[in-house]
Amino acid sequence: MALAAFTFVAVFLLIASGTLLLFFRQEMAQRLSAALSPRAEGRRVLRRLKIREAGSSLGAFVQQFEKVLPKNPKEVSVAQKRMILAGYRSDRAVRISYGCKVLIPIALAALVAATGLGQRSPLAYMFALVLGFMLPDFWLGRKIKSRQLEIRLGLPNALDLIVVCVEAGLSLDHAILRTSEELKEGYPEICDELGLVSLEQRAGRPRVDAWRNLAERTDVDTIRALVAVLIQADQFGTSIARTLRMYAEGLRVKRRQSVEEKAAKTTVKLVFPLVLFIFPSLFIVTAGPSMIALTQFFANFSK
């Protein structure tokens, strides 16, 4: 029984690690290229190809199970939009997500059966199925929030570099392209979105539509406000560099005020752990020996 449970856990961890490798194959390829020496160019390319092949084969295996779930076009559209917010723009990512909603509940139910929890409580199977079905959505929600946070943090620096490029004589389109290339190592998320904006403009899409698509893809309030500011500046013919500089300064001021607000709230939040945990412990440590001594004194005095 123990051997079967160990084997199942090992297989489950292998499938989970392969799934993570599929979603983060670009990051893994970059880390491998940074770790290897420049002389090992052939081995680096070979390992990158192996990682891509492993991710593709695992994704093909997982997406076969997406046909099990019944779904309508509206749900698929919502799932695709969430995948775009998380940074996965291919239709294959949606199919893999639905496949994970089938494989993970089965794996957790098998784990419950292997560990014997199902014999003690039959509700463990239902809990495993519900948790496995909702786990991909939870992970995707955390991925969306993490990506939006990285975009918010990298936006002021990207705007500063765009301002520098515009003041140096480049057009706004070339400044966006140069910024997406220069800040790719430090802020990959915002540079990926800016590079896509530049690609849409080179494909013939109007600048206003490209910026509006950026706001829809990211769903970040600061990006939406920036798009509105840029559209207004383009319509009225105001200076783009001055507008972007003022907006970047406003973002930094807002971030500083947010940090100060959170710091001011910490004193109020510390009241609850102080009253519930620290003060009772101090009271027991300081008043405990004296209470014991008084109890013993009154006991001896009564005798």
For residues 151 and 302, what is the distance between their CA atoms, to the nearest angstrom? 74
Quickly state the pLDDT bin for 246 (edges 50, 70, 90): confident
Say whether pLDDT at 226 is over 80: yes
Domains of the chain: 2-145 (no CATH), 149-265 (1.20.81)
Query: Residue 12: its pLDDT value, please?
Result: 55
Residue 231: what residue type? I
For residues 42 and 20, what is the distance between their CA atoms, to the nearest angstrom? 25
Query: Residue 13: its pLDDT value, please?
Result: 57
Q: What is the CA radius of gyration of the chain?
A: 28
Query: Residue 114: its pLDDT value, please?
Result: 82
Tens of pLDDT, residue by residue over 166-215, are 888 888 888 888 888 888 888 888 998 988 998 888 888 888 888 888 88
Query: Residue 16: its pLDDT value, please?
Result: 57
C-beta separation of 251 from 237 below 8 A: no
Say whether pLDDT at 111 is over 70: yes
Higher pLDDT, 68 or 170: 170
For residues 43 and 235, what is the distance between their CA atoms, to the nearest angstrom? 52
Report angle CA 223, 215, 217 to the nearest 5 degrees.
125
Say whether pLDDT at 220 is over 70: yes
pLDDT, averaged across the chain: 77
* Enclosing H/E stretch for 294: helix 279-302
Report angle CA 254, 255, 261 to the nearest 5 degrees.
90
Query: Residue 24: its pLDDT value, please?
Result: 52
Say whether pLDDT at 153 is over 80: yes
Say whether pLDDT at 218 is over 80: yes
Say whether pLDDT at 40 is over 50: no
Residue 10: what residue type? A
Q: What is the mean pLDDT of residues 232-243?
A: 81
Least confident range of 25-29, 67-71, 227-231, 295-299: 25-29
